[in-house]
Structure 1
Amino acid sequence: MSKREEWLKKDGATFPGNTYVECLLKPVFNYQRDNLFSAMFQVHRAHVLMLCDRGILSTEQTARILDAVERVAVCDPAVLRYDSHFEDLFFMMEARLTEELGADLAGNMHIARSRNDMGVTMYRLTLRDQLLEILDVLTDLRESLLEVAGEHLETVMPAYTHTQPAQPTTLGHYLLAVQDVLTRDTERVWAAFHTVNQSPMGAAAITTTGFDICRDSVRKYLGFEGIVENSYDAIAGADYLLEAAVAIMMLMTNMGRWIQDLLLFCTREFEAVKVADPYVQISSIMPQKRNPVSVEHSRSIASSATADAQAVFTMVHNTPFGDIVDTEDDLQPHLYRAIDKAHRVLKLMNAVVSTLEVNRERLMKRAREGYITITELADAMVREKKVSFRIAHRIAGLVVKKACQRHLKLDEVSPELIKEASREVMGSEITFTEEELKKICDPVHFIAVRKCPGGPSPGEAARMLRDRKEKLFDDRTELQRYKNRIQSAQDSMKERIRQLTATLSS
């Protein structure tokens, strides 16, 4: 027996072959069942109602179809299993509706639509809901960051540049910065949501239809903001997937950066913060260990989410501009997994941030080390001694060098050392009193005088905190408005269906 004959004997001589079923149809069916079932029936309802509105279906036909749709829609999708009699979930449900209605009436459901516009609509409905969920947990995390930031507007800590202690700041200032990045991430997710939240229904295969339909009617029933007007674009465009993917990639990449910081802050050597007991794990052999596994897993899952989102770009890249399987059932799970992982990271980090213990004394101690207030010495020379900044910078640098050589901390530097350094740099002495030097070297003073917009001074940080809370309130209000709008559309559609199907029993 030839190799070809062996394969045909094993797989069968007609479509679908067993290998095709196992490698493609079963996985696709399971993905559709788990993600698209509800969206499919939403599209059925909206499209049939529109056909009725336009007089393409009679009221009686519409009522009978929708009655059958509701009966089939209540089945538990979790119990559905792939059946080789049907190519996918869509055809399985079509067969069930045909059993309920008969072939002619069931077939009329599909007037003026295609698997193409229906499929893209299902993807958009599902993705829309997932993005709203991301916005929900993202807003929760921002709220927690603002709450903790508000508690630490005067908790002094070192700011780092190039991984080295640079200047004093506060933990509140740092957390406000993290929240600001997440606010921009929120705006990117919103932008993706608005791109996704457009209806392609009515595009049919790719060139619309000769039937007198109303695309805007379907849009309203489904709660979309608008329609993808050009029918070719409605089917061929994949940028709504790319935009959602890039929003998730940027969100998770940004999360990963401060999550990495948090892992450093948790180390015994750094000892700046302590993750609460519910989110740490004890070693199986070393009982003294408090492993911050919740933060570690968050970093890892964020990277995994980024990888899944990147796969979306890879799969769309260099594909033809039209209806193509690359943007459909093989791609969608990558995006859904990316969003699910992002959701998990956001929720987990919200729990960690909300329960974090901060070692204020340790952070203050670190802020007094490493000569990180030396910038203020240079600034004081410019402000009070009328020295040019570059000269002041050189003097300050020499002060640090001499202090290191003599094993002095910055607050141990004497007025004589300042005189010595200034004499070497510019040939004349600069004089500060011990009291002036003590103030200049104090990280609290360093922070207090940085009142410029966006600076860490407690007053300016408090102003930023108020602004961010107002923005957060506006974002929550906007999120609820869109949730209500979508729910209202669904409720209106259900009520219309209830009224129509009620006529069958009268």
Structure 2
Amino acid sequence: MRRYRWRETTVKFILSSLGAAAWLALHAPAAVAQGAPAPQASASSATPIAAMAGQPRDPFFWLGEINKATLVINSEQGLLDPSIAPRLAAGVAKVIADGNASGGKRPASVITFEPLLIKAAGEDVTLLHAGRSSQDMHATYRSAILRDKLLELAEQLHATSMVLVELAARHERTIVPNYTNGVAAQPNSYGHYLLGQAAGLMRDADRIRETYARVDRSPMGTTVLNGTSWPLDRQRMARYLGFEALVDNAYDASQISSMDQPVEVASIVTSVALRAGNFVEDLMTQYAQPRPWILLEEGGGNTYVSSAMPQKRNPGLLNDTRSEASTALTLALGPVVQTHNITPGMSDPKDVKQNSAMVDGGIATLKRWSRVLKALVIRPERALEELNSDWTASQELADVLMRKYRLPFRDGHHFASEVVSYAKANDIKPLDFPYAEARRIYAESMKDSKYGADLPMSEQEFRSTLDPVAIVDNRATSGGPQPAEMQRMLAQARAHLAAQDGWIKARRAHIRDALAQLDRDFDAIAAKAPRP
């Protein structure tokens, strides 16, 4: 009972968090959700299944596909009498057509689907159940549905990554402060910062592909947990349903891997949600400043005016994105908690609607993040002003003294730290720091050093070393923000995105072509059924 109460609570949470429209989108047939009429079927249907386009790929859809594939394979391999196959096919087609009709029943379990088959084709339609169980059939449609959801997540991840990368290209030469421990740390290119964010999302894209390969395996033919005495053609079944491979071990199929899958997908949703939340919080720190260098464009649902304080422009879109990320993170915890302390094979973490809602939470977060990126207003002059008002370039003094004049880094660091302390105590900005004072501080810092007490840098070199733009340009390591490396990394990011787009399209095409072949082979048998 506790498990069902937990699920009821989770459903209520999903309703309140995602909203009615998102919840309905999970349950309503795709054609209806898009405003298109649901396909109708005649009561005596032997209608070709290929003609019934637009149905959602929900549990009912996949139970229909499994029955179609079973009929074709078993009748061709002698496990089902070919002479009755057309009549049974007509019954299967009728159940599917009735379910696709407006208001039609779309049962999500074998035990509620089978009575419809019996009503449409007679008791002997249960001959299709040779060597099958609700265990492997349900495990199969769960994998198929999660496979589709992963592709949806991959598509939105790709779209958001594209926005990040192209924004990075536009701001390749925009020099801004970057922060560590919540404090301005070093100057950087904003494009370089964005490419860093994109690199994280590309790792998530890699994780999706890796997870997809494990989800894209067919459990069909494993029955409950140890197979069957029927010599079922599992490989052909997998091909018809668009799976790339089999779950090899029959016990693993419905007892272990079907519990692993939602937990693994949850880890990807968690990663996406955490990244979005981190990005939003980084932006939110600017809203505490009286003169931020980065903001959201006002209006269009991005910001709203405070009801009491006319000067305030609250970043509503940032708040909504953070909230969306928190919702996705909460939903992603569901499969983890539900898988904890249960015996293998229990249904707790396998709920299709809950796991689909979890992935949809990740997709919604990425969509909001894209909106944030498109709404950003970046002020390069203000960013440079902030850099020049603080000492984020001070490390460069130590670096240049070591690189060019062979001064140990710790000595150079001590000198730079003393310069910063004097400047802050006397309210001196980097561009205004007196060169004479720098020489004095250096002499005091190095009075007992064997390296000499005269600052080896000229005044011009001292000042250029504190220039944020020059610092970025002079970076020499691979992966830095210097122009040559930015061009290389932008090209690399675009190539990665192109490959990811190709992978998504190839996976979708593979499933589409497999199901189309099943339709053709099934329709050929159904067409032989006598017409009333």
TM-score bracket, shorter-length normalisation: 0.7 to 0.9
Deviation at 1:32, TM superposition (A): 8.4
Taking the aligned partners of 1:38 and 1:297, their CA distance within structure 2 comes to 34
Query: For residue 324 of structure 1, what is the aligned residue in structure 2?
Result: 346
Query: For residue 305 of structure 2, what is the aligned residue in structure 1?
Result: 283
SS at match of 1:278: coil
SS at match of 1:154: coil
Taking the aligned partners of 2:179 and 2:289, their CA distance within structure 1 comes to 18
Query: Structure 2: which amino acid aligns with 1:256?
Result: G
Deviation at 1:122, TM superposition (A): 0.9
Taking the aligned partners of 1:413 and 1:268, their CA distance within structure 2 comes to 25
Taking the aligned partners of 1:112 and 1:81, their CA distance within structure 2 comes to 26
Counterparts of 1:40-439 in structure 2, within 5 Å, are: 40-74=63-97, 75-76=99-100, 79=103, 89-104=109-124, 106-237=125-256, 238-266=259-287, 269=290, 271-276=292-297, 277-283=299-305, 285-286=307-308, 288-321=311-344, 323-329=345-351, 332-427=352-447, 428-439=453-464
Query: Structure 2: which amino acid aligns with 1:312?
Result: P
Q: Residue 471 in 1 paired to residue 491 in 2?
A: no
Counterparts of 1:435-446 in structure 2, within 5 Å, are: 435-446=460-471
CA contact under 8 A between 1:33 and 1:89: conserved in structure 2? no
Taking the aligned partners of 2:319 and 2:101, their CA distance within structure 1 comes to 35
Taking the aligned partners of 1:61 and 1:468, their CA distance within structure 2 comes to 56
CA contact under 8 A between 2:217 and 2:246: conserved in structure 1? yes
Alignment size in residue pairs:
476
SS at match of 1:40: helix
Taking the aligned partners of 2:101 and 2:109, their CA distance within structure 1 comes to 10
Taking the aligned partners of 2:392 and 2:306, their CA distance within structure 1 comes to 40
Deviation at 1:98, TM superposition (A): 1.3
Deviation at 1:49, TM superposition (A): 2.1
**Cα displacement string for residues 111-149 of structure 1 (whole angstroms, at most 9, x for unaligned residues):** 110000001001101100000000001001111100000
Distance 1:264 1:407, change over 3 A: closer
Taking the aligned partners of 1:232 and 1:168, their CA distance within structure 2 comes to 56
Deviation at 1:496, TM superposition (A): 1.0
Query: For residue 11 of structure 1, what is the aligned residue in structure 2?
Result: none
Q: Structure 1: give runs of 5+ residues left out of the alignment.
A: 1-18
SS at match of 1:159: strand
Query: Structure 1: which amino acid aligns with 2:242?
Result: G
Which piece of structure 1 moves more, 55-64 or 358-367? 55-64
CA contact under 8 A between 1:385 and 1:430: conserved in structure 2? no
Distance 1:383 1:414, change over 3 A: farther
Taking the aligned partners of 2:435 and 2:337, their CA distance within structure 1 comes to 63
Equivalent position to 1:490, from 515, 518, 521: 515
SS at match of 1:168: strand
Distance 1:158 1:292, change over 3 A: same
Distance 1:393 1:43, change over 3 A: same
Q: CA RMSD in A?
A: 2.6
Taking the aligned partners of 1:67 and 1:256, their CA distance within structure 2 comes to 52
TM-score, with structure 2 as normaliser: 0.84
Deviation at 1:61, TM superposition (A): 2.7
Distance 1:270 1:240, change over 3 A: farther
Taking the aligned partners of 2:503 and 2:109, their CA distance within structure 1 comes to 35
TM-score, with structure 1 as normaliser: 0.88
Taking the aligned partners of 1:273 and 1:67, their CA distance within structure 2 comes to 63
Which piece of structure 1 moves more, 143-152 or 49-58? 49-58
Deviation at 1:76, TM superposition (A): 4.1
Distance 1:333 1:502, change over 3 A: closer
Distance 1:336 1:23, change over 3 A: closer
Deviation at 1:226, TM superposition (A): 0.6
CA contact under 8 A between 1:266 and 1:272: conserved in structure 2? no
CA contact under 8 A between 1:148 and 1:172: conserved in structure 2? yes
Deviation at 1:356, TM superposition (A): 2.5
CA contact under 8 A between 2:276 and 2:369: conserved in structure 1? no
SS at match of 1:212: coil
Deviation at 1:368, TM superposition (A): 1.6
Q: Structure 2: give runs of 5+ residues left out of the alignment.
A: 13-23, 30-57, 448-452
Equivalent position to 2:478, from 453, 477, 501: 453
Which piece of structure 1 moves more, 267-276 or 130-139? 267-276
CA contact under 8 A between 1:264 and 1:270: conserved in structure 2? no
Deviation at 1:197, TM superposition (A): 0.7
Distance 1:204 1:463, change over 3 A: same
Deviation at 1:266, TM superposition (A): 4.9
Which piece of structure 1 moves more, 394-403 or 383-392? 383-392
**Cα displacement string for residues 166-188 of structure 1 (whole angstroms, at most 9, x for unaligned residues):** 11001100000000000001111
Which piece of structure 1 moves more, 493-502 or 133-142? 493-502
Deviation at 1:262, TM superposition (A): 2.6
SS at match of 2:276: helix
Deviation at 1:37, TM superposition (A): 2.2
SS at match of 2:304: coil
Taking the aligned partners of 1:266 and 1:144, their CA distance within structure 2 comes to 23
Report the identity percentage. 26
Distance 1:426 1:268, change over 3 A: closer
Taking the aligned partners of 1:316 and 1:141, their CA distance within structure 2 comes to 31
Deviation at 1:448, TM superposition (A): 0.5
SS at match of 1:169: strand
Distance 1:23 1:370, change over 3 A: closer
CA contact under 8 A between 2:238 and 2:246: conserved in structure 1? yes
Query: Structure 1: which amino acid aligns with 2:461?
Result: E
CA contact under 8 A between 2:331 and 2:357: conserved in structure 1? yes
Query: Structure 1: which amino acid aligns with 2:113?
Result: M
SS at match of 1:59: coil
Deviation at 1:311, TM superposition (A): 1.8
Deviation at 1:285, TM superposition (A): 2.0
Which piece of structure 1 moves more, 113-122 or 426-435? 426-435
Distance 1:239 1:145, change over 3 A: same
